[in-house]
Structure 1
Amino acid sequence: MGLAQDAPDAPAPASGAGATTPLRSFDPGYFDRFAPRTALDMVRQIPGFSIAEGEDRRGLGQGGSNVLINGERFSGKSNDVVSELGRIGASNVIRIELIDGATLNLPGLTGQVVNIVSKVDSLTGQFRWSPRVRFRRTDPQFLDGEVSISGKAGKIAYTLSLSNDSFRNGNAGIERVLDANGAVTDRRYEELYVDGDRPRIAAGVKYQGDGGQVGNLNLSYERGWTEIREDSDGEVVRDRDYLETEKEYNYEIGGDFLFPLWGGNLKLIGLRRFEHSPFFTRIFLDFEDRRPREGNRLATVIDETETIARAEYGWKAGKADWQLSVEGAINKLDTRAELNLLDTAGTFQPVPLPGSDAVVEEKRAEMGLSYGRPLSSTLTLQTSLGGEYSQIVQSGVGGLTRSFIRPKGFVSLAWKATPRLDLSLRLQRDVGQLNFFDFVASADLGAENQNSGNPELVPQQSWNVDFQATQNLGALGSINAKAFVNFVEDIVDQVPIGATGEAPGNIASATIWGVSLDSTFKMDVIGWTGVRFDIDYTYRKSSLPDPLTGIRRRISGDTIHEFSAELRYDIPGGDWAMGANYSDFSQADEVRLSQLAEFPIRGGDLGFYIENKNVRGLTVRAGLSNLIGTNEAFRRTFYVGRRDGPVAFVEDRERFFGPVVSLGINGSF
């Protein structure tokens, strides 16, 4: 039986995680009862830990995922670390270390971080197949899965994978239209189908030289499609036929190379990402009173490019770790759109959509100096100071060129209060990432909404305070609690544009705070051998002044709470396991200047599963979820003029999709 230890039995081999003592170290035997196939299976069983991918970070700098592989950050963005963990065979894992991020010589990490210490000595492979079937109205999902191989040739380790993210979703139900007095003016039966596949090929190459050189190269190419169909039969609009499609391809090339230089280590990092996305939307309306058919269509082509170069030079001076970093980036969005309206003769005629054809480009440079050192045997300091310069250029109608200088940095403390209680505190000055689509005029035909372009947008900034406490319960498990508060300047939300328009824009200030809990309880210590209970909970509250009414409200569409719980029983001495899980969430209203959209979801997702960990060498899990009938309700209020005026009408929708049957087959070769 493997153990979770309070200290590692050997030093970590990698540059990033080797400078600190882990909070706990898990050898492969600790995970035996779960029969893991991959490193991802192992990480998901670490008590009180949840993976945070950090995909929306600005550039390749500090922060990012709370997972390291051999002490190193993963040099990718869309080619994510979760997928990478799924390609590392469990047999290649030496141990997994749980570390306080503030004690690492990797600036920006705080709270719990896991480091996967692994090796590749021979050719190995992993595969999974994840079919799923909804009971009602949707086609079976047969094509979701992945196969990967890993091997080593001399000083080169490599991984190749072929995967597909497949989805076959949908729902159906009644939508009522009510007038301002609540009287029903139309009743519609609607069915929604959302289908798609995202096949991807990816490769990773790692070089480890004799003189401390380490190089990584990660490549991926994806070609996906999505089709959304919605059919509506009503008493006024007899038939509404909605179609939306996307056929996309994208690629990413990311890599880094670290080598000793002048008594320290220099790491060069680069990334190039491109995405080409043609969208097409078409709507036809046929009426009960036989008036002429109405319709419109929108064709949009979007090209997104991101190019980043970064250099990090780190060195040690006594007990202190220093790092100087510089980064340059060019981000670009190129959009072209064509809107057409069906005339009474049944012919589509072009309609102007000012501001929809545009190019938005940001050129950014940043520099930072980081410093970290232990202040005592139980207290560690890490701090960083820097700034960034960015220039945003928008062509097209109303285009502008603007420049910004933004300070950024942080200070964090990690304190080992007792042998089993770890505390961390972090204060950060952060610069947010802009969504370039907010600069450009756009239309959403399905929701019957339109945004004006807003070239006046600026990046938001914030002061962030984060506190985290991890209580190691020994054989009973672990509790990890977090609390945070953010004071945000220039937050982006829906604002008025001109006399009648609206678009995402900046609001002077907002406050966001929240708490979260990740906990694991292993019942073996009280005699319930093989029973494990996981509870995760997050609550988030935000507040800003509504730009129309002046009354404070939550950020539009912001998460309010998320809850999940799982009870798992691994039958002692055998290959069978079973479990139950439950999850639910809620979100704030989506606010526009003339509409208010609510999501009154009732009933969470309750499911059960049974698993055999050795079916001719495979792990097979069968599951049944959504047993209490989670609905996907939606209520949207339209106003006369803007939202401070009287109600015009209300759309009230309730849809269901029934139970879901899933099968997971995982194996190694």
Structure 2
Amino acid sequence: MSSGLALLAALGLATVVHAQTPAPAEVAPAAAETQIRTYTPADFARFAPSNALDMLNQVPGFSIRTDVVERGLGEATGNVLVNGQRASNKSDDVLAQLRRIPAANVERIEIRDAAGLRIPGLSGQVANIIVKAGGLTGQYAYTPEYRARFTEPVWTRFNVSVSGERGPVQYTFGLENQVNHSGAGGDTFIYNPDGSIREERYDVWTADSNQPRATARFRVDGPGDAAGNLSLAYRDIRSDYLEESRRTPATGVARTVDFDNLTEGFDYEIGGDYEFAVGAGRLKLIGLDRLRDVEFENNVVSTWDDGRANTGDRLTGRSEESERIGRGEYRWKQGKADWQISVEAAFNALDSESRLFLLQPAGNYTEIPFPGATARVEEMRYEAIASYGRPLSPTFSFQIAAGAEYSELSQIGGNGLTRTFQRPKGQLTAVWQASPETRYNIRLQRRVGQLNFGDFLASIDLSNNTSEEENPNLVPPQSWEAEVEANHSRGAWGSSTLRVYAHLIDDIVDIIPVGATGQSVGNLDSATRYGVEWRNTVNLDPMGWRGVKIDTRLWFQETSLEDPVTGEDRPITGNLRRFVSLSFRHDVPETPWAYGFGVSHQRYAPTFRPSEVAHGFEFPVSGNVFVEHKDVYGLTVRASVGNVFSGESYLRRTSFAGRRTDPVSFYERRDRTVGPIYALEIRGKF
């Protein structure tokens, strides 16, 4: 498969000479779609939005769900459409895309039900943003940030975009600098099994990431009712992590340990689609080509107080990840029914090389064996899905999609091998309008998960002194997923959405024991995940408190699998257990002022390894406050303070002498101060 396949849409666009601009892409309405919630720009005027993202964030009861990043494009997984279409690119998430759509170009936002749309894979409530072409417009945002402790200020974070139209071509150019600085510092205590102090540490770390990115998107309407899109993106990648750890043992020699992890590289993506009428329906051809190339160097050096030679390790490497996709979708209408057939071919590859070095007393580094860390992993995947949907009554519609995928997975180098998989997949969605105020979305899905190619290879974390062996026998996880989402509209008071779900997972990926002392990323037989999420938006205008909006979110989740070491049930490593948030916003009537606050709490399950259990978490209770002025010489200026409750960074780690069934070797307790976070956002348009 060549990269020319990714430019299939661009070649189609090049044949366009002149055309007329059609209406936005049609979205087939089902009978149960009579209660579509529609929001116009007037509904968001009080928030002074700059772009489509600002508007969508204020839709009552709606929460943006970004696409699940998988190999290939597959079926849709997010819950946001633009002009009835999902994006045909991957590196650009929906938040960035919406940020580049000027608010002036948004005609309306429709909140619809997945079963009433022509796009397989969607579930629950979906936002369809109807965008019109406009004259030359631009917008920008400058967002400096200052953290009171341990961290350098952020002065160069910004984004700017320009949109316009020339003849049949609509275009958007974007430039942004994604800069993030973070840091923390504090005490760490290592305890012996009897509770006595083994070692005291004082650690300070900083992490800096700088990723300038340029994007361009073109849409051509014509000839006739044909339409095409072309997306281009390029990003420069640089991140640096520094940590200094002063370590004083109860007995022995004190030392200072310095960590330095540097990553540099780039990525790009070219993607496009072209849709036109064929026979009784419409055919869309999609192509995509992307590449990510990064190099890294990790150093750990210990400087001893007694003057002995420094000791340490160095890990260097390079990884090149590539993907090429060709996809075709043909849809047509037959009576009240909507049909679609899609086929896709995707080629993915990872070339990875890692080398490990040991610091010698003379100050030079000597390479030591690191088996299984250098190899190439390839996958060729084919997928075919057919979908059928229709209304069964004025209040009930459904859509069913079924198909299969075939993949050939190869590891070249190390203990590589080649395997093939055939997996069925599909989804059933339905929407029931139980009353004018209440509707239910139902989803049952057989999902085939994706693997991280890096998990096939051996890896090592020098800072935590943990490592995993290579495992060429990894298989993709599969799951049965059931979900019911109920939405209730309270009119002017707001809305409420309740989601209940359960997942049965086969071949879940986790850290598994290998031999007597080793470990690797591997598969466990099965796991379960179930939970409930409740979102509420309450407007207080009806009770006389004009301009006040309160949003709440409660999310509780339980997971379970059989631990490969103890044989007992435990949670899935690192999965969300609970999330609770409340936000308050008051747009003061007849003034340009707004203010508000937010409070949230989240907790994740511990990380389980064969020889340890670690639970790291930040901000057990997180809070922020803000004040905003919507017309400072035509600009919107927002000042905010984060971490107002002085949340810290914590780690609770228990390490065992061998497996977790053996005696405890030591306990680690870490508390690191983060400090308040001051931010300023200046938004404007031109």
- Which TM-score bucket, shorter chain as reference? over 0.9
* Counterpart code for 2:462: L
Contact 1:55 1:78 in 2 (8 A): no
Instruction: Tell me what 2:11 maps to.
Output: none
Instruction: Tell me what 1:607 maps to.
Output: 624
Distance 2:611 2:93 in 1: 38
Q: In the TM superposition, what is the alpha-carbon distance from 1:287 to its structure 2 partner?
A: 2.6
Instruction: Tell me what 2:482 maps to.
Output: 465
Distance 2:315 2:363 in 1: 16
* Counterpart code for 1:127: Y
The alignment yields a C-alpha RMSD, in angstroms, of: 1.4
Distance 1:604 1:207 in 2: 48
Asked whether 1:545 is paired with 2:562, we answer yes
Distance 1:15 1:547 in 2: 51
Quick one: which of 141, 144, 148 aligns to 1:131? 144
- Alpha-carbon deviations, 1:127-178, whole Å to 9, x = none? 0011110011211011111010000011000000100110111000001111
* Counterpart code for 2:420: S
Asked whether 1:192 is paired with 2:209, we answer no
Distance 1:318 1:267 in 2: 21
Q: Compared with structure 1, are the counterparts of its residues 117 and 17 closer, same or farther at alpha carbon in structure 2 (3 Å cutoff)?
A: farther
Q: In the TM superposition, what is the alpha-carbon distance from 1:23 to its structure 2 partner?
A: 1.9
Instruction: Tell me what 1:159 maps to.
Output: 172
Q: Compared with structure 1, are the counterparts of its residues 460 and 660 closer, same or farther at alpha carbon in structure 2 (3 Å cutoff)?
A: same
Query: Structure 1 stretch 380-389 or stretch 337-346: which is displaced more?
Result: 337-346
Asked whether 1:412 is paired with 2:429, we answer yes
Residues 167-178 of structure 1: pairs in structure 2 closer than 5 A: 167-178=180-191
Q: Secondary structure at the match of 1:504?
A: strand
Asked whether 1:369 is paired with 2:386, we answer yes
Q: In the TM superposition, what is the alpha-carbon distance from 1:381 to its structure 2 partner?
A: 1.0
Q: Secondary structure at the match of 1:456?
A: coil
Asked whether 1:16 is paired with 2:27, we answer yes
Instruction: Tell me what 2:221 maps to.
Output: 208
Instruction: Tell me what 2:73 maps to.
Output: 60
Q: In the TM superposition, what is the alpha-carbon distance from 1:347 to its structure 2 partner?
A: 2.3
Asked whether 1:84 is paired with 2:133, we answer no
Instruction: Tell me what 1:657 maps to.
Output: 674
Contact 2:67 2:93 in 1 (8 A): no
Contact 1:329 1:363 in 2 (8 A): yes
Query: Structure 1 stretch 633-642 or stretch 461-470: which is displaced more?
Result: 633-642
Query: Structure 1 stretch 545-554 or stretch 343-352: which is displaced more?
Result: 343-352
Q: Compared with structure 1, are the counterparts of its residues 602 and 323 closer, same or farther at alpha carbon in structure 2 (3 Å cutoff)?
A: closer
Instruction: Tell me what 2:3 maps to.
Output: none
Q: In the TM superposition, what is the alpha-carbon distance from 1:12 to its structure 2 partner?
A: 7.8
Contact 2:546 2:589 in 1 (8 A): yes
- Alpha-carbon deviations, 1:388-424, whole Å to 9, x = none? 0000000112101000000001111110111111101
Distance 1:465 1:97 in 2: 25
Contact 2:602 2:620 in 1 (8 A): no
Instruction: Tell me what 2:521 maps to.
Output: 504
- Alpha-carbon deviations, 1:233-262, whole Å to 9, x = none? 121342011100101200011111110001
Instruction: Tell me what 2:8 maps to.
Output: none
Residues 282-301 of structure 1: pairs in structure 2 closer than 5 A: 282-301=299-318
Return the TM-score normalized by structure 1: 0.97
Residues 136-147 of structure 1: pairs in structure 2 closer than 5 A: 136-147=149-160
Contact 2:24 2:83 in 1 (8 A): yes
Asked whether 1:25 is paired with 2:42, we answer no
Asked whether 1:324 is paired with 2:337, we answer no
* Same amino acid, percent of matched pairs: 43
Contact 2:433 2:440 in 1 (8 A): yes
Distance 1:305 1:22 in 2: 44
Contact 1:57 1:63 in 2 (8 A): no
* Counterpart code for 2:402: L
Asked whether 1:334 is paired with 2:355, we answer no
Query: Structure 1 stretch 202-211 or stretch 308-317: which is displaced more?
Result: 202-211
Distance 2:617 2:271 in 1: 42
* Counterpart code for 1:357: T
Instruction: Tell me what 1:397 maps to.
Output: 414
Quick one: which of 21, 46, 50 aligns to 1:37? 50
- Alpha-carbon deviations, 1:504-524, whole Å to 9, x = none? 111011001111122111000
Higher relative contact order (CA 8 A, sep 6+): 2
Q: In the TM superposition, what is the alpha-carbon distance from 1:18 to its structure 2 partner?
A: 5.9
Distance 2:300 2:243 in 1: 10
* Counterpart code for 1:343: Q
Query: Structure 1 stretch 561-570 or stretch 92-101: which is displaced more?
Result: 561-570
Distance 2:259 2:360 in 1: 18
Query: Structure 1 stretch 34-43 or stretch 596-605: which is displaced more?
Result: 596-605
Query: Structure 1 stretch 233-242 or stretch 187-196: which is displaced more?
Result: 233-242
Contact 1:575 1:613 in 2 (8 A): yes
Q: In the TM superposition, what is the alpha-carbon distance from 1:60 to its structure 2 partner?
A: 1.2
Instruction: Tell me what 1:73 maps to.
Output: 86
Distance 2:508 2:379 in 1: 19
Asked whether 1:357 is paired with 2:368, we answer no
Instruction: Tell me what 1:7 maps to.
Output: none
Q: Compared with structure 1, are the counterparts of its residues 63 and 148 closer, same or farther at alpha carbon in structure 2 (3 Å cutoff)?
A: same
Contact 2:530 2:557 in 1 (8 A): yes
Q: Secondary structure at the match of 1:525?
A: helix
Q: Compared with structure 1, are the counterparts of its residues 89 and 118 closer, same or farther at alpha carbon in structure 2 (3 Å cutoff)?
A: same
Distance 1:600 1:157 in 2: 45
Question: How many residues in Structure 1 have an aligned counterpart in Structure 2?
Answer: 659
Contact 1:55 1:77 in 2 (8 A): no
Quick one: which of 189, 200, 219 aligns to 2:232? 219
Distance 2:372 2:551 in 1: 49
Asked whether 1:280 is paired with 2:297, we answer yes
Contact 2:29 2:116 in 1 (8 A): no
Structure 2: which 5+ runs fail to align? 1-21
Query: Structure 1 stretch 494-503 or stretch 349-358: which is displaced more?
Result: 494-503
Contact 2:239 2:262 in 1 (8 A): yes
Distance 1:608 1:384 in 2: 45
- Alpha-carbon deviations, 1:485-504, whole Å to 9, x = none? 00011000111223322111
Contact 1:12 1:18 in 2 (8 A): no
Q: In the TM superposition, what is the alpha-carbon distance from 1:601 to its structure 2 partner?
A: 4.6
Distance 1:545 1:100 in 2: 37
Instruction: Tell me what 1:5 maps to.
Output: none
Q: Compared with structure 1, are the counterparts of its residues 654 and 519 closer, same or farther at alpha carbon in structure 2 (3 Å cutoff)?
A: same
Asked whether 1:48 is paired with 2:61, we answer yes
* Counterpart code for 2:25: A
Q: Secondary structure at the match of 2:367?
A: strand
Quick one: which of 221, 244, 247 aligns to 1:234? 247
- Alpha-carbon deviations, 1:448-498, whole Å to 9, x = none? 111100001001111100110011111011111111100011000111223
- Alpha-carbon deviations, 1:509-560, whole Å to 9, x = none? 1001111122111000111111100112222211000011111101111111
* Counterpart code for 1:661: Y
Instruction: Tell me what 1:475 maps to.
Output: 492
* Counterpart code for 2:470: G
Asked whether 1:632 is paired with 2:643, we answer no
Contact 1:18 1:71 in 2 (8 A): no
Return the TM-score normalized by structure 2: 0.94
Distance 1:614 1:653 in 2: 45
Distance 2:574 2:305 in 1: 35
Q: In the TM superposition, what is the alpha-carbon distance from 1:289 to its structure 2 partner?
A: 4.1
Q: Compared with structure 1, are the counterparts of its residues 151 and 41 closer, same or farther at alpha carbon in structure 2 (3 Å cutoff)?
A: same
Structure 1: which 5+ runs fail to align? 1-10
Q: Secondary structure at the match of 1:418?
A: coil
Distance 1:637 1:474 in 2: 52
Q: In the TM superposition, what is the alpha-carbon distance from 1:188 to its structure 2 partner?
A: 1.1
